């Protein structure tokens, strides 16, 4: 055996070993997340059909498994979406999502809370937005919040996922109370927004509905619309299930601003996330938060000096 053949054989063996030690996803090496508490296990799942109503695109919403799951679809005719029957002051909201495969550039799957239909000029919002992307056909996760604002005053952060979101269901969760807002993916905190003096003016405080939608974000989702949705690959089907919605229900006539679960006279239920364990992250969750932000976050508005000549007050250490 010549030296070149020996070197080729050795290279193959090395690559085989590496592939066993470091499996790859569509974006490179998969990072194993740290162990954290399974916050989702504290809350009960509810059928999608029992808690959600059609928001738009009824022909592109297909209930499955007796309503416990649903497919929401984007095609040439329409996107589609669901909205909660109830409005909430604070709570824990979570859903398992399996995203469309293939070329999904420009497709947006959103799981979010909003009251823009009630407060069009100064609405609140807490967003998960999964953005189909042209780069190696991967999905990008964007989180955002609005408080008493408009779409021009968002606080975006973007992450690469440490798994392929098209192969299995993964959990996307939001915890919202008067202390903080926490975004979690598979129970790993990826973002915490503290409620303090610096953030008080942009902290969501009014009752909101919960939405799950899929739609065409061609105009902005990929580099300002450079890569629009390619409908040759339609329909784009996202599957959702394991819906968890436990919050302070408010009456439909509640128009209060700044009230908490403990003192609002319009509350129909008590606060399910009241207690010391929901006021701050545990040590395990803090490790998970630092891991996600160090290894997977690639954009934060707090570091965008082109957009903000003077950084927003909550960005300052």
Q: Annotated catalytic sites, by residue?
A: 125, 129
Cα(34)–Cα(282) distance, rounded to whole angstroms?
13
Residues 6 or more apart whose CB falls under 8 angstroms from that of 177 comprise 90, 91, 261, 271, 273, 274, 278, 279
Strands (E), the chain: 24-25, 28-29, 52-56, 61-64, 69-74, 80-98, 107-114, 123-132, 139-149, 157-160, 170-176, 180-185, 188-194, 208-216, 236-250, 297-300
State the DSSP code for 46: B
Nearest to 221 by CA among 101, 109, 74, 71: 109
Cα(295)–Cα(138) distance, rounded to whole angstroms?
16
Are 20 and 219 in contact by the 8 Å Cβ rule? The answer is no
Are 239 and 116 in contact by the 8 Å Cβ rule? The answer is no
Nearest to 90 by CA among 317, 236, 275, 314: 275
């Amino acid at each position: 055996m010549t030296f070149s053949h020996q070197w080729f054989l050795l290279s193959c063996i090395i690559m085989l070993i590496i592939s066993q030690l470091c499996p790859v996803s569509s974006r490179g090496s998969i990072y194993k997340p740290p162990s954290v508490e399974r916050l989702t296990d504290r809350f009960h799942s509810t059928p999608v059909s029992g808690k959600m109503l059609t928001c738009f695109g009824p022909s592109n919403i297909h209930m499955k498994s007796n309503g416990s799951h649903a497919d929401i679809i984007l095609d040439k005719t329409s996107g589609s979406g669901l909205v909660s029957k109830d409005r909430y002051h604070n709570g824990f909201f979570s859903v398992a999502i399996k995203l469309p495969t293939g070329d999904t550039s420009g497709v947006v799957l959103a799981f979010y809370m909003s009251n823009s239909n009630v407060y069009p000029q100064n609405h609140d919002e807490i967003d998960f937005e999964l953005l189909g992307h042209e780069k190696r056909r991967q999905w990008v996760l964007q989180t955002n919040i609005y408080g008493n604002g408009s779409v021009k005053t968002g606080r975006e952060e973007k992450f690469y996922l440490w798994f392929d979101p098209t192969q299995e269901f993964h959990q996307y969760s939001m915890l919202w109370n008067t202390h903080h807002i926490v975004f979690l993916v598979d129970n790993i905190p990826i973002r915490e927004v503290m409620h303090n003096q610096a953030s008080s003016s942009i902290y969501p405080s009014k009752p909101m509905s919960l939405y799950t939608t899929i739609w065409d974000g061609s105009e902005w989702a990929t580099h300002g619309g450079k890569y629009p949705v390619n409908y040759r690959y339609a329909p784009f089907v996202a599957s959702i299930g394991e819906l968890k919605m436990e919050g302070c229900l408010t009456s439909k006539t509640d128009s209060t601003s700044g009230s908490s679960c403990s003192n609002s006279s319009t509350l129909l239920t008590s606060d399910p996330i009241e207690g010391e364990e929901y006021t701050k992250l545990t040590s395990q969750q803090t490790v998970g938060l630092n891991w996600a932000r160090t290894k997977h976050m690639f954009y934060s508005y707090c570091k965008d000096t082109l957009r903000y000549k003077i950084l927003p007050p909550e960005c300052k250490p």
